[in-house]
Structure 1
Amino acid sequence: MNYTLHQLQIFLKITQLKSITKASEELHLTQPAVSIQLKKFQDQFPIPLTEVTGRKLYITDFGKEIAKAAERIINEVYAINYKTMAFQGEITGLLKIAVVSTGKYVMPYFLAEFMKRNEGVELAMEVTNKARVVRSLELNEVDFALVSVLPKKLKINTVPLMPNSLFLVGSEKLEFAKNATRKKIFENLPLIYREQGSATRNAMERFITKNKLSIRKKIELMSNEAVKQAVVSGLGFSIMPLIGIKNELKNEDLHITPIKGLPIHTTWNLVWLKSKKLSPAAAAYLEFVKTNKKDLITKSFDWVKHYDKERMLVKK
């Protein structure tokens, strides 16, 4: 046997994704390069590791056993690297963060510099809806979570990061009368919702209920990106976080519709369980956020002020 650590990493990724194409994308390699390494790895075993039926890749039982062994070997190598860096005084370990889907427009900017400074830290970031994020926090599966609405039933510590503002947005492809009231806008135009469990959806529903608005047609989509593209296409309007539509506003693909009672203001918070024993990597990250958050906000999110302070004719 003469396989390499690189081949083990490629094979493990293929077994996880069950696709050479997806594995090549995630590993930032070309598809031919991944295929060649898989063949070289396979050539060292008399039993097939994978098989292709139609266009679908399957992992054989033997391949699954080899994948388990590969994962153990890779984890041991990581452990050696961590120990080496720890003895050199560097921060090492795995930092696990759960982020609500819209938070993907926020969290990377609070991570990039920290990860550059601490090469021994690895990051696992799950992006999902609020319900799943809170569940991950509750089960102690993550170090931190990023949320715009604090979970009420958990005992948590919080660090407020920055404001989160939600506006009614649409495209020029879907028009309404210039003198239309708030009531008429919501009655006559399709409104696009996020899925159940989304904090954005909850905020939208509270606004509609509080103002006793009637909805003509409701469309439900499963991600913020899907909602954004649907609004750009003219499929409907939606109440969306400003943080996720910067480029679309700049390019005039989307426009803010001034409405009384909007924007809705919440706050992005980094939260963690009070009972959580933070790892050295997590503790270092928390200190980094507390020390640098003002500079990070000024550097990456100063543009938000333009829209939050903008004075527009508000529809009654």
Structure 2
Amino acid sequence: MKYTLHQLQVFSKVVQAQSITKAAEELFLTQPGVSIQLKNFQDQFDIPLTEVIGRQLYVTDFGKEIAELAQQILNQVEEIDYRTSAFKGRLYGRLKMAVVSTGKYVMPYFLSAFINENPSIELTMDVTNRAAVIKALENNEADFGLVSVLPDKLKIEEELLLENKLFLVGDAESKLEVPAKNIQLLEQLPMIYREEGSATRMVMEKFLEKKKIHLKKRLELTSNEAVKQAVIAGLGYSVMPLIGIRNEVQDGDLKIIPVADFPIRSRWRLIWLKNKKLPPVASAYLEHVRQHKAAIIEKHFSWIETV
């Protein structure tokens, strides 16, 4: 057999993406190019690696075993590249992150110095929902995830980063007044929710369940930005993380409504699989975070404590 590293990379990505089209996009290749490489790789085996049912591509049990071995080979090649660069005094490799959507206001500040100091590192950061972050960790597609709500079943390690505050917010024209900051008033408000599985929604619902409060859901939207714009437009109220609305509050587009027991508090956490052997780049990054997070928080996020 004479399969190439390129074929191993293509096959591994197809297995991860469960799609030739998505694999081509992530590899910056054409779909026909990926299909040809996949066929050339398959031709070297008597047993099918994949099968197509309808329009859906499925990986066979044999294919999954080959994909696991292929990834081990690719990891070893990356280790060779790393050691070569390390011998030259440089840190080399790929750092893979999966970040919940609101985390895009947090994660860049914990990455910028590390990436700038190590120009040979390639960063991939998928900004998505919480469920996809957990799945990326489970499938070993990401070294780290950034979440504010820990997964229930996945065994993980964590590094606490900073506090996450959630407030009740309305549009600039809102005349809402909460007598004695009465939290029960929330039951009368038209509320805009994030989608099921969103960390913001999970924190909010856990808080409301504890307080025995039942809200009226007017809208359900799939991103923090969409919720923000809906509130600004006057479509209703929402519970939103402060980290994502700072500018809108300062500019007067959004108004924080004072309510008893608010803000709701959680913590931003960097998480990774328990017992996972982190690649050298990921280990170096974790050490960087531990050494510098206090300074990063002081420089970029000290304003959170003043609200």
TM norm. shorter chain > 0.5 = yes
SS at match of 2:240: strand
Match of 1:16 in 2: 25
CA distance in 1, matches of 2:145, 2:31: 37
What residue in structure 1 maps to residue 48 of structure 2? none
Q: Which structure 2 residue ranges, 5 or more long, are not aligned?
A: 1-20, 41-73
Q: Deviations over 1:60-84 (max 9, x none)?
A: 7479649999xxxxx9xx9798676
CA change 1:150–1:61 in 2 (3 A) is closer
Counterpart AA for 1:259: V
- Shift in Å, 1:211: 2.1
Judge conservation of contact 2:191–2:219 (CA < 8 Å) in 1: yes
Q: How many residues align?
A: 249
Q: Which position in structure 2 is the counterpart of 1:216?
A: 216
Aligned twin of 1:293: 293
Distance 2:152 2:205 in 1: 19
Conserved? CA contact 2:81–2:93, under 8 Å: no
Distance 2:298 2:130 in 1: 26
Deviation at 1:188, TM superposition (A): 3.1
Alignment correspondent of 2:8: none
Partner residue, 1:43 = none
- Cα 1:187–1:294 shift into 2, 3 Å: same
Tell me how far apart the structure 2 counterparts of residues 68 and 112 of structure 1 sit (CA, whole Å). 40
1:189 aligns with 2:198: no
**Cα distance in 2 between the residues matched to 1:264 and 1:183:** 12
Q: Give how far 1:107 is off.
A: 0.5
Secondary structure at the aligned position of 2:231 is classed as helix
Alignment RMSD (CA, Å):
3.0
The CA deviation at 1:141 is 1.9
- CA deviation string 1:7-63 (max 9, x = no partner): xxxxx99x629xxxxx9xxxxxxxxxxxxxxxxxxxxxxxxx9xxxxxxxxx67479
- Gaps (5+ residues) in structure 1? 1-11, 18-22, 24-48, 50-58, 70-74, 308-316
C-alpha contact (below 8 Å) 2:232/2:254 kept by paired residues = yes
The answer (yes or no) to whether the contact 1:176–1:185 under 8 Å persists in 2 is no
| 1:85 to 1:264, Cα distance in 2 relative to 1, 3 A | same
TM-score by length of 2: 0.72
- 1:242 is displaced (CA, Å) by 0.7
Please, what TM-score do these two structures have when normalized by structure 1? Answer: 0.70
Q: CA deviation at 1:207?
A: 2.2
Distance 1:208 1:283 in 2: 38
Question: How far apart, CA to CA, are the structure 1 residues paired with 2:251 and 2:196?
Answer: 30
**Structure 2 residue matching 1:298: 3-state secondary structure:** helix
Alpha-carbon distance in structure 2 between the residues aligned to 1:147 and 1:201: 13
Distance 1:61 1:274, change over 3 A: closer
